[in-house]
Structure formats: structure tokens, C-alpha cells
Amino acid sequence: MFGMDHPNPLKNETYKGVKTPEEQKTETFKKMDEHNIVLALTSDGQLWKAENPERILVSGRNMPLDQLKEMALKGELAAIGELNPFYGGITADDPSQKPFFDLAEELGIPLGFHVMPGGPPGGLYHLGMDHIRVKNANPKQLEEVLVSHPNLKVYVMHGGWPYLEDMKAMLYMHPQLYLDVAAIDWVLPQAEFHNFIKGLVDAGFGKRIMFGTDQMVWPETIDIAVEAINSADFLTLEQKEDIFYDNAAEFLSLSTSEIAKHKRNQ
């Protein structure tokens, strides 16, 4: 994907891809500075954490269970994810996924589960991930996982869009379930994104929504994602602060001292 510019026909925008991993890291940290992003949970972010340990948390993705457990026991793993069987046409309740949920609950760390959209419209499907199916994107697939793992914190990546009513039902039934708005906050037209999160907030779930970008190789989308929240006039300043920081701090069990340090730097 490096070097690939990607059009988004939903918004008549084209995102400029960085050329190298080093450029991706450099440009991402610039955007974090610009928007005062104090902490980022990153899939496979070990090299970034080595350079900037106070601002990067590592989430383990596509790793053997033994490696994930070893990292966690060394204090090097903040979460497991993204867990993305969606790309292979597999749902959360498939037996192949159970060991990852079991391990996250055993270790007491959260898990991020990926559903739609996964990049700009049609992007990943037409890049060869031809097992992707819309029918496998409904967040209700996590229900039996949450029932059988009552002590496991899970966040639905990309908000469960477009299944608003099902996402509300899942949040209502399962208090350990959160969601992030990564990707949908820059992929979707702003009106559609606002309608979606307004539905969640109006239903009482404003404390379970977390900011994210999943900017992949297009750092400019961080700007769009931040503006998507800031421009939501139906949100109070307190609700925006919840989405940008407080909800994630609660979900990730950040310490009181770490939260205070972050707030001082804002």
C-alpha cells in the first residue's frame, strides 16, 4: 500500500499515500503533535514505541498466541488486535478465534475486533481480499463471545457501521463492549458519520465511543478525523472530550497519574 494514492468516491477526495514506513512514522508523529494526540494504540507498533515510548501503546496483531502471551507478561502488550477474521470471511464466533478471546480475558487486556469498512470504499476487496462479505460485518456476531467471556473488554473497530440499531442493542446488553470511530470518521461523508454517532449518543452510549483514525498510509486523514468530531455541533465539549480521550482512558485502565499528566499537556 505504500506510495498508493487512494480515491474515495463517497466524498470526491483522494488520499496521498506515504512512500516508506519511515515517512509514515514521521508524518504520523507530526500529525499527533499538531492535534495534541497524547497516546496512540497501534497494531504492531513496537518500532514506533521504541522511538516514542510515552506516546505509543502496542496492540498485537497476527501473532502466535505464545508470542502475544510472552509480550504481555513482559509488559509490552496493551491490547490484542486488530483481530480481523473478517478479511478471511470468518466471524467472531468461529472456533478458530476462541483462543484469542480466551487469552485476552486470561491476561486482563482488551481486544479490538475489526468489522467494516476497512479503508476507502471497495479498496481492500479490490486489492485481493476477496473473502470480505458484508454479511460478516454485523457486530451481533460478538454476542456469544461476550456472553462466554464476561470479564473481557472488547471494542468494535470502525463503530459497527452501518449497523446502528444492532450496535445500540449490543452496547445496551453488554457493558464491557466499546467501539471506536476509526476510518468511518474520514471515509464517510460527514453527514453520514454525524448521523451515526448522534444515534449512539442520543441512545445514551456517549461514554463508550472512542476516537481513532486507522489512517494506514494516509496521514492526512488524521486531520479529517479530528475535524469530524470537532464539527459535530450536537456534541457538547464534555462529550467531545469523552470521545477524544476520557472513554479510552477508562477502557485502557490508564492510571490516575498518567491521566493527570496527559491532561496537563493538553
Q: Is 55 inside a domain boundary? A: yes
| Range of the structural domain that residue 75 is part of | 6-265
Handedness of CA 122, 125, 131, 132 (dihedral sign): negative
Q: Is 1 inside a domain boundary? A: no
pLDDT digits (tens, 9 = 90+) for 33-52: 999 999 999 998 888 999 99
pTM of the model: 0.94
Q: Is 131 inside a domain boundary? A: yes
Q: Is 140 inside a domain boundary? A: yes
User: Which cell is 64 given?
Assistant: 502466535
Q: Is 46 inside a domain boundary? A: yes
pLDDT digits (tens, 9 = 90+) for 98-122: 999 999 999 999 999 998 876 667 6
User: Which cell is 235 given?
Assistant: 456534541
What is the distance between the alpha carbons of residues 166 and 100, in angstroms, rounded to a whole number? 24
Q: What is the reported pLDDT for 136?
A: 86
**CATH code, domain with 29:** 3.20.20.140
Whether 131 and 118 have beta carbons less than 8 Å apart is answered as no
User: Which cell is 153 given?
Assistant: 473488554
Domain count, the chain: 1
Rounded to 5 degrees, what are φ and ψ at 223? Answer: -60, -45
Q: What is the reported pLDDT for 96?
A: 94
